Amino acid sequence: MDQILEGLRAAAEPTRLRILALCTRADLTVSDLVRILGQSQPRISHHLKQLTEAGLLARYREGQWTYHRVAAGGAGGKVASAVVGLIASETPDLSADLTRLDEVSKDRHAAAAAYFSVNAENWDRIRSLHVDEAKVERAIAEMTADLDARNLLDIGTGTGRMLQLLSGRMDEAVGVDINRDMLRIARVNLERDGLRNCHVRLADMYRLPWADGSFDCAVLHQVLHYAERPSAAIAEAARVLRPNGRLLIVDFAPHKLDELRGSHAHRWLGFEDETVSSWCGAGGLEIEKTRRLRGHPLVVSIWRARRHAPDMPVEDRRAA
């Protein structure tokens, strides 16, 4: 009750209501909100502090920037969603705010498109070497169709494609990446598609900023061949999975295209089943499904692993 009352008190101010309405639609920085609302940075920061302390907004850092979004779940998140639902979008202030938000979104899109146009040739070159991406995505969807998962972590999210593909039945889907330019592209893609149950943030895959057992499902999609320590990346993904949570690994089978080391920064030339299985085992995971998709000359492997419950006997793990 106290948290609900605190949330209502925090929301009971015109500018803070406008901020809530905007942060329901996009992840925004102080600079974004200053541009949209036409108010000073100290005043916007003060309002954001009150909304965050009341649990209505969540904040996360990305390098020098801090982004804000309406909190997911909890009493604060429910209060924020309920209050925003009462605001008519055709009110003069909010209508003008949404017009300026659209301008901010277009600027983000232009910046992301400029970066991607420079790097698109590399992406297309890699894709031409293996099976069609649409077939890979269908296989990933099939490999996850039977999972009872409500929240998802996409590690090394890149452009956010796995979030777009898998977030449909999730309450929350989070993508992390160490590359700010890729996060900018991902954020544009998610906002364009209206996927407000998804968000992205800057994070190191070897030191994920969540407690043990925070997620039902995690994905490492075409990430491990860039990793200096693939086993450590898998162990850290396993750590944030709940008991019986699933980890989906998508990467290349062993190949001999050494050119990918120099021209595309690949650290590893694919992975054997036995190697991935041993890394998973060391992290408390057990491979339960494997699939191959043959391309020319690269073969895409998909491994699905389950985190067993602590102290579960081996025979019970196999039956679970």
CA dihedral of residues 147, 235, 63, 178 (deg, nearest 10): -80
Cβ within 8 Å of residue 241, ≥6 positions away: 213, 215, 216, 217, 218, 247, 285, 307
Q: How many CB atoms within 10 Å of residue 186?
A: 28
- What are the residue boundaries of the structural domains of the chain, listed by start? 2-102, 129-319
Q: Which CATH number fits domain 2-102: 1.10.150.570, 3.40.47.10, 3.20.20.150, 1.10.10.10?
A: 1.10.10.10
Cα distance between residue 302 and residue 320, in whole Å:
21
114 or 155, which is more confident?
A: 155
Cα distance between residue 28 and residue 235, in whole Å:
32
Two tokens, residue 112:
């992301």
Query: In the chain, which ranges are E strands?
Result: 57-62, 65-70, 151-155, 172-177, 198-202, 215-221, 241-252, 285-294, 299-307
Cα distance between residue 46 and residue 13, in whole Å:
12
Domain 129-319 = CATH 3.40.50.150: yes
Q: Which residue has the tokens 């979008």?
A: 89
Q: What's the mean pLDDT in 163-183?
A: 92
pLDDT tens digits along 262-290: 777 788 999 999 999 999 999 999 999 99
Query: In 222-284, which ranges are E strands?
Result: 241-252
Query: Does residue 32 surpass a pLDDT of 60?
Result: yes
Q: Using the Cα atoms of residue 115, residue 116, residue 121 and residue 123 in order, give the sign of their dihedral.
A: positive
pLDDT tens digits along 213-265: 999 999 999 999 988 899 999 999 999 999 999 999 999 999 988 888 777 77
Q: Which residues pair with 247 in a beta bridge?
A: 218, 305
